[in-house]
Amino acid sequence: MTQQTPLTPAQPATPFVDRRRNRAGENPVGFERRQFANSYEELSPEARELAQAIDEYKVRHRRRFITFEEMLAVIRELGYEKRTG
């Protein structure tokens, strides 16, 4: 029978850096990453309205990314609907 060596966790080569906190060591109040944050001014009024509605949805539901179903719900909330015929 062979002798087994106990497994030990590997030590990280570099220490873990928590990048979720700002330089002062505190979470920024109300800070949330936005998909469209820096490009609102380049959008048409309709696209800007959609981008802002999506961002508001993400904040309201604490979501970083949304599904296609959620995006469709946001579009419908803005009053858009598919025409048939």
Q: What is the pLDDT of residues 40-79, one digit of tens each?
A: 788 899 999 999 999 999 999 999 899 999 999 999 999 9
Predicted pLDDT at 49: 93
Which residue range is the domain that position 63 belongs to? 40-77
Closest alpha carbon to 71 in 39, 83, 56:
56
Predicted pLDDT at 85: 78
Residue 44 lies in a domain: yes
Residue 56 lies in a domain: yes
Residue 5 lies in a domain: no
Residue 61 lies in a domain: yes
Residue 22 lies in a domain: no
Residue 60 lies in a domain: yes
- For residue 15, name the pLDDT band (cuts at 50, 70, 90): confident
**Residue 17 reports pLDDT greater than 90:** no
- Rounded to a whole number of angstroms, the distance between the first and last alpha carbons of the chain is 77
Residue 62 lies in a domain: yes
Q: How many domains does the chain have?
A: 1
∠ CA 68-70-71, nearest 5°, is: 60
Closest alpha carbon to 54 in 31, 75, 39, 79:
75
Residue type, 13: A
